[in-house]
Amino acid sequence: MIISPNQLTMIRMALIPFLAVSLVYGRMGAAIAIFIAAGITDMLDGLIARHYGKQTNLGVLLDPMADKLLLATSFTLLTLQDLGLAVKIPLWLTIAVIGRDILLVLGALVFNLTVGNKAFVPSWLGKSTTVVQLGLIMMVLVSNYIGERVAFLDLAMFVTLVLTISSGTHYMLQGMKMTSEDFD
């Protein structure tokens, strides 16, 4: 094997500053290409890890971290007023997305420090939320590339909000259940 899943994840993380620079300087075509490249590395690292049995503890930590960094960077920059974007992500949606992720990371950290190490397996709802969030980012990037809102963008924002809140609530309830089981 030429490249490992962890190397692909690190490549995805290394692409994030290039995406940020492209967005800051209004290079939407480059931003779209970089975002697609990041998506391809995400898809490939998962496929290779599962197909070849190359899942590692490092990969379990790095992969979601790379996703969160990509999402947080994209949502933040696509919300900023100063970039002169034709289409922006509303601040309330960015706060919901990043707020959910901060709460999940802090919750997992507190849980692991107080109760003990436990792997948190992503749920189908969490994975769906990530896919929809990434799709929304792509829609906003394309909207800014063509200079107008793409069809169904408002619906995508609403669905993103609903899934973000639903998955955050789901994970919170799972964490509370796991905490109560450990203290019974």
Q: Domain residues of the chain, as ranges?
A: 5-182
Mean pLDDT computed over 108-113? 82
pLDDT at 170: 95
Q: What is the pTM of this model?
A: 0.92
Closest by Cα among 73, 98, 78 to 16: 73
pLDDT at 157: 98
Check if CATH label 1.20.120.1760 holds for domain 5-182: yes
For residue 83, give every residue at least 6 positions away whose Cβ sits within 8 Å of its Cβ, in sequence order, or none.
Answer: 23, 24, 26, 77
Average pLDDT of every residue of the chain: 92
Q: 9, 66 in Cβ contact below 8 A?
A: yes
- Go through 132-145 and write b for each residue having 16 or more CB atoms within 10 A of its CB, e for each that does not: bbbebbbbbbbbbb
184 has pLDDT over 60: no
Position with higher pLDDT, 145 vs 118: 145
Tokens of 155: 């619906």
